[in-house]
Chain A
């Protein structure tokens, strides 16, 4: 069958497929040229940075480049339970001396200290000895270094150096999940009282989930009203929905702070109508309540708009048909209307969830101690500790999380079902 179709020729004897390709080539080029600027823009501002982020997050070349001779010598270190042979000591001494001459030794100390506490002290000690030229290069380097500090006589420290040999590491990712490589190189969890990242991940997911849920329950009726009201009212309502969009994020967040604080308008109103006493005004800010309220309001349009665009296409006669066939208004809604809005629900929830998972200004301002989310941690490492590779690792973990959610969604509902407008 397929071989027969391939043989179809045009009147001039050119195979039909070739002719078709030729005819469509111009259109394809035109289409490509139209998207080319955006494609270029995306490659420069999106693909490259993500690639760079990934490289940064796994990069561990610093020590590899600082101690080339040492790592080469370490390849011959076989019995890992004993201290390395003289050759390793000598290579390390030579590498270190070179670093000291280039004023690079401090970086090495810091980096090794991250790998195992106590390195900073003993490398500084070695540096002073080298500076004062007290190391006799003709004698055994191993003995001289071992004499400097008892830690140099501990095989753990040498193993720590050996662990830093590979140019790439997943240590940052493990750190993001509160895990690390222990001295024998196996993955271990950090002590229970220091597992901050896991709490942040769970809190981020929890807040994103509830914000999505609240936006859905508030956005669905609004979208329905928007889609069914006569034009002049629905336009007004649409402006009300979009108004927050046109206001700066910071202004909106600040106004929520004015409304929700303990001496704020909402509390004043509660006191005025006698709902609560003046001396026990509820905390509505600097906790999760504040975060939920402010984020739901800010993200609501992202739920309403996809829902609205889907509902707009549902013919009102379908609900009428459902009722005329004997369905109560609820049955008609649940069996007919609701299933038809699922593409909009999917799009809205996905949009709100993905945006919520990466939010950080609003929760940081109104959420108090509980408002620190994973994005705040990323920003903290970007700006304060300058541990960019860790920030990159967490950013990528967040991105992967979003992609996983997208994948699950695709499996459950199907991405073709998403309708944004």
Chain B
């Protein structure tokens, strides 16, 4: 069975609500069949609008959305056959769990026996057998969430959309639900389009992540690449933690460049800078900078500890380094614990390949 790499296709989609501001700008996005894709971005970045256009609750101002090769822009929501899990679950409060799950099957005129079978299967998928006669109000948040997922899957839709489904749950429950949804996706192979503003959720669950900002997809790649190799400073900033230096390129060759800061110079990996004299923001992940490095590293500096915060599995250290007092280090909690004290001077080093010279902020 060959998977269609363009199962869902956004083709040059624009969306504006008021005719003045574009909420989504020239969106070009292909989603493969069976893929788990996450739209990640801050609020107002256009990700939910994209989801609503796909579900049929908003119409694109320009461009087309294709599902399995067919233009769906003019198909009303109820004929698209797309399952959706809403932010606040949107369970029908006057119906039992069974009736909620049977709703999509009943409107499709499925036989009673078949409905019973499918509802039972969907409930066992989210391990909620025996809850058929409960009302949604009698369920906990996590259980309601599972019912919502089961309801979106019970009629075997080709695509399931999830609009921040875990937003209302507490941290522990949210994490276990993340794995649960991931496993359901893996076991039934449905295409999932997931919207969230929680980066760790996106990194945990997705095959690919589309980072949205300002109505545009900033980067579309798998979680590892997104974290390790952000293509611009917005993505670097938005995903994970990040130390930045603003400066100017004074020397550049193929895989190295020299960046002049206020009163020092560092070596960096030129990603989006091309020539001398360009302004740049250099991004460095906190865990890539080492204390008292034993290997030879091409960036070696001395900084002064400003603050030490104990986090259990690691310790966060804030340093005054290269004229900035916002440099963060993450020191793993290992047996060879260092003595870290405020106002102590320490040596820091990192490789220029990890310091990515991106577009200026």
Binding site for B on A (CB under 8 A): 315, 317-318, 320-329, 331-332, 335-336, 339-340
Which residues does chain A contribute within 8 Å of B84, judged by CB atoms?
Answer: 320-321, 324-325
CA distance A318 to B92 in the complex (A): 7
Contact B77 A331 (CB under 8 A): no
CA distance A56 to B209 in the complex (A): 81
Contact B107 A340 (CB under 8 A): no
Contact A320 B57 (CB under 8 A): yes
Which residues does chain B contribute within 8 Å of A328, judged by CB atoms?
Answer: 78, 107
Which residues does chain B contribute within 8 Å of A318, judged by CB atoms?
Answer: 90, 92
15 pairs, CB–CB < 8 Å, chain A vs chain B: A315-B90, A320-B55, A320-B86, A323-B57, A324-B57, A325-B104, A325-B152, A326-B79, A326-B155, A327-B104, A328-B78, A329-B76, A331-B78, A339-B94, A340-B94
Nearest first, the 10 closest Cβ-Cβ pairs linking A and B are A325-B104, A321-B90, A317-B90, A324-B84, A323-B77, A317-B86, A323-B78, A327-B107, A326-B107, A339-B94
CA distance A364 to B151 in the complex (A): 57
CA distance A321 to B90 in the complex (A): 6
CA distance A259 to B152 in the complex (A): 55
Interface flag for B117 (CB, 8 Å):
no
Which residues does chain B contribute within 8 Å of A331, judged by CB atoms?
Answer: 78, 107
Contact A325 B88 (CB under 8 A): no
Interface flag for B254 (CB, 8 Å):
no
Which residues does chain B contribute within 8 Å of A323, judged by CB atoms?
Answer: 56-57, 76-78
**Chain A minimum-CB-distance residue to B82:** A324
CA distance A108 to B152 in the complex (A): 82
Interface flag for B93 (CB, 8 Å):
yes
CA distance A113 to B77 in the complex (A): 78
Contact A324 B155 (CB under 8 A): no
Which residues does chain B contribute within 8 Å of A336, judged by CB atoms?
Answer: 92
CA distance A325 to B92 in the complex (A): 12
Contact B88 A317 (CB under 8 A): yes
Majority secondary structure of chain B interface residues (helix, strand, loop or mixed): loop
Band of interface residues on B: 20 to 34
**Chain B minimum-CB-distance residue to A342:** B94
Interface flag for B320 (CB, 8 Å):
no
Instruction: Give residues 223-274 of B contacting A (CB, 8 Å).
Output: none
Query: Nearest Cβ distance between residue A204 and chain B, in whole angstroms?
Result: 34
Instruction: Give residues 77-121 of B contacting A (CB, 8 Å).
Output: 77-84, 86-88, 90-94, 103-104, 107-108
Query: Nearest Cβ distance between residue A345 and chain B, in whole angstroms?
Result: 13
Binding site for A on B (CB under 8 A): 55-57, 76-84, 86-88, 90-94, 103-104, 107-108, 151-152, 155, 161
Give the residue among A321, A322, A324, A329 with the most B Cβ atoms within 10 A: A324
CA distance A336 to B100 in the complex (A): 10
CA distance A49 to B200 in the complex (A): 69
CA distance A340 to B86 in the complex (A): 18
Contact A335 B57 (CB under 8 A): no
Contact A325 B55 (CB under 8 A): no
Contact A324 B94 (CB under 8 A): no
Contact A335 B90 (CB under 8 A): no
Which residues does chain A contribute within 8 Å of B91, judged by CB atoms?
Answer: 321
Which residues does chain A contribute within 8 Å of B55, judged by CB atoms?
Answer: 320, 324
CA distance A335 to B103 in the complex (A): 9
**Chain A minimum-CB-distance residue to B77:** A323
Contact A322 B86 (CB under 8 A): no
Which residues does chain A contribute within 8 Å of B88, judged by CB atoms?
Answer: 315, 317
Q: Which of A317, A324, A340 contacts B78 (CB 8 A)?
A: A324
Q: Which of A317, A326, A327, A340 contacts B87 (CB 8 A)?
A: A317
Contact A325 B94 (CB under 8 A): no
Q: Which of A315, A317, A325, A339 contacts B103 (CB 8 A)?
A: A325
Given contacts A320-B57, A320-B77, A327 and B103 within 8 Å (CB-CB): yes
Which residues does chain A contribute within 8 Å of B151, judged by CB atoms?
Answer: 325
CA distance A332 to B57 in the complex (A): 14
Contact A321 B78 (CB under 8 A): no
Contact A325 B86 (CB under 8 A): no
Query: Nearest Cβ distance between residue A201 and chain B, in whole angstroms?
Result: 37
Which residues does chain B contribute within 8 Å of A321, judged by CB atoms?
Answer: 84, 86, 90-92
Which residues does chain A contribute within 8 Å of B152, judged by CB atoms?
Answer: 325
Which residues does chain B contribute within 8 Å of A317, judged by CB atoms?
Answer: 86-88, 90
Given contacts A317-B87, A331-B107, A326 and B92 within 8 Å (CB-CB): no
CA distance A348 to B310 in the complex (A): 60
**Chain A minimum-CB-distance residue to B92:** A336
Query: Nearest Cβ distance between residue B122 and chain A, in whole angstroms?
Result: 12
Query: Nearest Cβ distance between residue A417 and chain B, in whole angstroms?
Result: 11
Query: Nearest Cβ distance between residue B201 and chain A, in whole angstroms?
Result: 20
Query: Nearest Cβ distance between residue B312 and chain A, in whole angstroms?
Result: 37
CA distance A248 to B225 in the complex (A): 72
Query: Nearest Cβ distance between residue B233 and chain A, in whole angstroms?
Result: 35
Which residues does chain B contribute within 8 Å of A335, judged by CB atoms?
Answer: 92, 103
Which residues does chain B contribute within 8 Å of A325, judged by CB atoms?
Answer: 78, 83-84, 103-104, 107, 151-152, 155
Which residues does chain B contribute within 8 Å of A340, judged by CB atoms?
Answer: 93-94
CA distance A323 to B93 in the complex (A): 16
Query: Nearest Cβ distance between residue B345 and chain A, in whole angstroms?
Result: 56
Query: Nearest Cβ distance between residue A329 and chain B, in whole angstroms?
Result: 7
Query: Nearest Cβ distance between residue B221 and chain A, in whole angstroms?
Result: 29
CA distance A309 to B220 in the complex (A): 44
Query: Nearest Cβ distance between residue B155 and chain A, in whole angstroms?
Result: 7
Which residues does chain B contribute within 8 Å of A339, judged by CB atoms?
Answer: 94
CA distance A361 to B107 in the complex (A): 50
CA distance A317 to B167 in the complex (A): 15
Which residues does chain B contribute within 8 Å of A320, judged by CB atoms?
Answer: 55, 57, 77, 84, 86, 90
Contact B77 A324 (CB under 8 A): yes
Contact A322 B103 (CB under 8 A): yes
**Chain B minimum-CB-distance residue to A336:** B92
**Chain A minimum-CB-distance residue to B154:** A325
**Chain A minimum-CB-distance residue to B84:** A324
Query: Nearest Cβ distance between residue A290 and chain B, in whole angstroms?
Result: 40
Extra inter-chain contacts (10) besides given A323-B78, A324-B82, A340-B93, CB under 8 Å = A320-B84, A322-B103, A325-B104, A325-B152, A326-B79, A326-B104, A327-B104, A327-B107, A328-B78, A332-B78
**Chain A minimum-CB-distance residue to B99:** A335
CA distance A231 to B80 in the complex (A): 31
CA distance A335 to B76 in the complex (A): 18
Which residues does chain A contribute within 8 Å of B57, judged by CB atoms?
Answer: 320, 323-324
Given contacts A322-B103, A335-B103, A327 and B90 within 8 Å (CB-CB): no
Query: Nearest Cβ distance between residue B153 and chain A, in whole angstroms?
Result: 11
CA distance A326 to B87 in the complex (A): 19
Q: Which of B90, B94, B108 contacts A326 (CB 8 A)?
A: B108
Which residues does chain B contribute within 8 Å of A332, judged by CB atoms?
Answer: 78
**Chain B minimum-CB-distance residue to A318:** B90
CA distance A326 to B82 in the complex (A): 8
Which residues does chain A contribute within 8 Å of B83, judged by CB atoms?
Answer: 324-325
Give the residue among A322, A326, A331 with the most B Cβ atoms within 10 A: A326
